[in-house]
Amino acid sequence: MSWLADFWSTYGSQILPALGQHLILVGVALASGIIVAVPLGIILTRFPRWSSPIIAVVSIIQTIPSLVFFALLIPIIGIGLQPALLVLFLYSLLPILRNTYIGVRSVDPTLLDASRGQGMTSWEILYMVELPLSAPIIVAGIRLAAIYLVSWATIAALIGAGGLGDLIFSGIDSENTNLLLAGAIPTAFLALIIGFVFGQVRRLVTPRGLRAEVVTKRDLRTEVVVG
Amino acid sequence: MGVKFENVTKMYPGARPAVNDLSLEVQSGELMVLIGPSGCGKTTTLRMINRLEEPTGGTISIDGRDIESYDPIQLRRGIGYAIQQTGLLPHMTVEQNIELVPKLLKWDEKRRHERTRELLEMVAMDYGTFAHRYPRQLSGGQQQRVGVLRALATDPPVILMDEPFGALDPLSREVLQTELKRLQAKLQKTIVFVTHDIDEAMRLGDRIAILRDGQLLQVGTPDELIRTPQDDFIAKFIGRFLVLSKAPVDSVQQFMQTVAVRIQRELPQGGRIVQIADVPLWFWIDDEGVLQGVAGEVPEGADQWNSVNWTNGDAVCVRETDSPDEVFGRLADEEAEALPVVDEGHRLVGIVTRRSAIRTLSGALRRVEA
């Protein structure tokens, strides 16, 4: 424990601000990713013919190694926080976009037909039927994007965006293992925590009627009698 | 509110017409079954009524008003719609599902809940037990009931049903058909009902419209279709009802019971009380054997015969010359287990019982099967 205490007294003052910067990088990129990708995914379900090309383009962005991507952007928008946010934002698009598209498309067409036949407008069908039923899949996409962003954000340190990556790269440069760990360990924990938190959110947005514990609690006696 | 099709055609690009020049009038309060082989256009026809499909030509009107003049959303909210896979929203409870359209129509909560309670009661589902369950916590039959209730939620005059019982096991299907018949007798909705099951059509339809390749072939009551099928296709389509529709016996005498007439009591004022074949019905006949009255119960003590509550014999009796069909029908519909049979002179000659009717009919069925 004393090692941990020493470690903290040495690096704590560096970890906390770096962690804060890291969270801002991830948070801002993720939030803008959600704001853009969720509506875009929904719109794509209305125009399925466009979906393949658009998802293909977004997938290509994702295949560019992040280091290369950062490097490519330096001549265009320079270095610092904003270019880093832009890259992270672009990276977050695909998992969210794809899951939104798949989630909304996976809603049983007979439900949509019944809803339409009852006189629901397409807007009502979207927020009363499609979004509640696809929410778990959409949140799964957001969770994936968030976990990726935590690791990609470390690379952003290379273009001066700060964050936990700063500690890692400084540790590598100065052959200071402890400094490296001061960046790497919080990054790993952050990824785990974010994964857990979004896992819980996913559980919460799963409609009760679809949860396993509700479905298995069938009352068999009434089944038989009224069947 | 009737539904009227005038020369309605529905074309899909590059295919033969799904519905071709269809003219059909569904009367107000009538249950009209649309039936035919798959691809005959019955579902398309149904879906044009609430504008889930738009006709390519012709007009459809409800209560005399062209449906094109309605906003589709408003039109659909005013028409009940029930489909085979129930279409119940899995993330909403039974109550929320039933109240969906009332909610869209901005009914207040109290009125909505009262309506849900009333609807569930109509199909003997307890509000407390079922209202807050999710569809997946219900059996198939229960889900389908809720699907039908949802179509009834706003008490619409016109209801569309697309094979609502198609996915159920035969037993549940029959239970729900009986329930629908009972509801319909009470509610008198205009129902357009699509099915591919001829038994279901015969059981439920006030009239049946038979379609093939988008054409209306024949429309008529089940009886008309059985007796006067327009062509071989229709005769074949409804085929096996032909035999059963004919009474298996020619006259009432053939299944009337006459044996074991027990004289219960000679009455001092003339006439006597008799019982036939131990059936719990007592007949009061005069000295000529003319049926005077019928009673379902008589007191034990002989001195209390005067207090018996007699029903007028003419009101309940069957005549020897009645058609057996009619008598089977009366036995099925009326409360009584048995009916007295009289001859032309109103003399009691025997009884027909449900049991004797069943025996006769099942004998006929065996002959048909063999």
Interface contact B100-A118, CB threshold 8 A = yes
Mean pLDDT of chain B: 85
Interface test with A, best of B89, B165, B174 (most A CBs within 10 A): B89
Distance CA B8, CA B25 (A): 12
Looking at residues A199-222, what average pLDDT do you find? 68
Looking at residues B104-129, what average pLDDT do you find? 91
Interface test with A, best of B137, B158, B171, B194 (most A CBs within 10 A): B137
pLDDT of residue B259: 63
Q: How confident is the model at residue A222 (pLDDT cuts 50, 70, 90)?
A: very low
Residue B219 has pLDDT above 50, yes or no: yes
pLDDT of residue A226: 31
Residue of B nearest to A226 (CA): B142
pLDDT of residue A221: 34
Which residues have a Cβ under 8 Å from the Cβ of B98 and sit 6 or more positions away? Answer: B115, B116, B119, B120, B146, B149, B150, B153
Which residues have a Cβ under 8 Å from the Cβ of B224 and sit 6 or more positions away? Answer: none
Q: How confident is the model at residue B158 (pLDDT cuts 50, 70, 90)?
A: very high
Looking at residues A10-37, what average pLDDT do you find? 89
Which residues have a Cβ under 8 Å from the Cβ of A89 and sit 6 or more positions away? Answer: A28, A29, A32, A33, A36
Q: How confident is the model at residue A120 (pLDDT cuts 50, 70, 90)?
A: very high
Inform me whether the C-beta atom of residue A223 falls under 8 Å from chain B C-beta atoms: yes
Chain A environment of B87 (Cβ under 8 Å): 110-111, 113-115, 117
Inform me whether the C-beta atom of residue A109 falls under 8 Å from chain B C-beta atoms: no
Residue A219 has pLDDT above 70, yes or no: no
Q: How confident is the model at residue A218 (pLDDT cuts 50, 70, 90)?
A: very low
Which CATH number characterizes residue B118's domain?
3.40.50.300
- Please tell me whether residues B193 and B264 are part of one structural domain: no
- Please tell me whether residues B228 and B182 are part of one structural domain: yes
Interface contact A113-B73, CB threshold 8 A = no
Whether residue B55 contacts residue B48, with contact meaning beta carbons closer than 8 Å, is answered with: yes
Distance CA B38, CA B197 (A): 11
The closest alpha carbon to A89, from A19, A31, A138, A147, belongs to: A31
pLDDT of residue A17: 84
Looking at residues A76-81, what average pLDDT do you find? 80
Question: Domain A20-208 sits in which CATH superfamily?
Answer: MetI-like (1.10.3720.10)
Residue A140 has pLDDT above 90, yes or no: yes
CB nearest to B137's CB, from A108, A118, A214: A214
- What ipTM was predicted for this assembly? 0.77
Looking at residues A44-53, what average pLDDT do you find? 88
Domain boundary among B198, B225, B245: B245
Structure tokens that stand for A71 in this block: 């490097």
Q: Which of A7-11, A37-41, B136-140 has the lowest mean pLDDT?
A: A7-11
Interface of B with A (CB under 8 A): 47, 50, 52, 72-79, 81, 83-93, 100-101, 104, 124-125, 129, 134-137, 139-142, 150, 160, 171-172
Domain boundary among B211, B245, B279: B245
- Please tell me whether residues B69 and B47 are part of one structural domain: yes
pLDDT of residue A27: 93
Inform me whether the C-beta atom of residue A106 falls under 8 Å from chain B C-beta atoms: no
Give residue B278's domain range: 252-366
Residue B241 has pLDDT above 60, yes or no: no
pLDDT tens digits, A79-116: 888 888 888 898 899 899 999 999 999 999 999 999 99
Domain boundary among B245, B270, B290: B245
- Please tell me whether residues B89 and B63 are part of one structural domain: yes
- Please tell me whether residues B131 and B64 are part of one structural domain: yes
Task: Give the number of beta-carbon pairs within 8 Å between A and B.
Answer: 96
Residue of B nearest to A217 (CA): B137
pLDDT of residue B242: 46
pLDDT tens digits, B79-89: 999 998 888 99
Whether residue B165 contacts residue B177, with contact meaning beta carbons closer than 8 Å, is answered with: yes
- Please tell me whether residues B152 and B301 are part of one structural domain: no
Residue B302 has pLDDT above 70, yes or no: no
Mean pLDDT of chain A: 84
Residue A217 has pLDDT above 60, yes or no: no
* B81: closest CA of chain A, how far (Å): 6
Whether residue B351 contacts residue B257, with contact meaning beta carbons closer than 8 Å, is answered with: yes
Interface contact A111-B50, CB threshold 8 A = no
pLDDT tens digits, B16-58: 889 989 999 999 999 999 998 888 889 999 999 999 999 998 9
The count of structural domains within chain B is: 2
- Please tell me whether residues B128 and B13 are part of one structural domain: yes
- Please tell me whether residues B314 and B335 are part of one structural domain: yes
- Please tell me whether residues B80 and B172 are part of one structural domain: yes
pLDDT of residue B35: 93
What is the bridge-based pairing of β-strands B338-342 and B318-319? parallel
Listed by number, the residues of chain A in 150-209 with a beta carbon closer than 8 Å to a beta carbon of chain B are: 207-209
pLDDT of residue A216: 47
Which CATH number characterizes residue B320's domain?
3.10.580.10
pLDDT of residue A223: 34
Residue B250 has pLDDT above 90, yes or no: no
Residue of B nearest to A218 (CA): B137
Q: A190 by DSSP, 3-state: which?
A: helix
Residue A163 has pLDDT above 90, yes or no: no
The proportion of chain B whose per-residue pLDDT surpasses 70, expressed as a percent, equals 92
Chain B environment of A219 (Cβ under 8 Å): 137
CB nearest to B134's CB, from A108, A214, A227: A214
* B274: closest CA of chain A, how far (Å): 43
* Alpha-helical segments (H) within A106-219: 109-117, 122-125, 131-155, 164-173, 177-205, 212-216
- Please tell me whether residues B225 and B334 are part of one structural domain: no
pLDDT of residue A186: 87
- Please tell me whether residues B64 and B85 are part of one structural domain: yes
Q: Which of A190-199, B85-94, B146-155, B300-309 has the lowest mean pLDDT?
A: B300-309
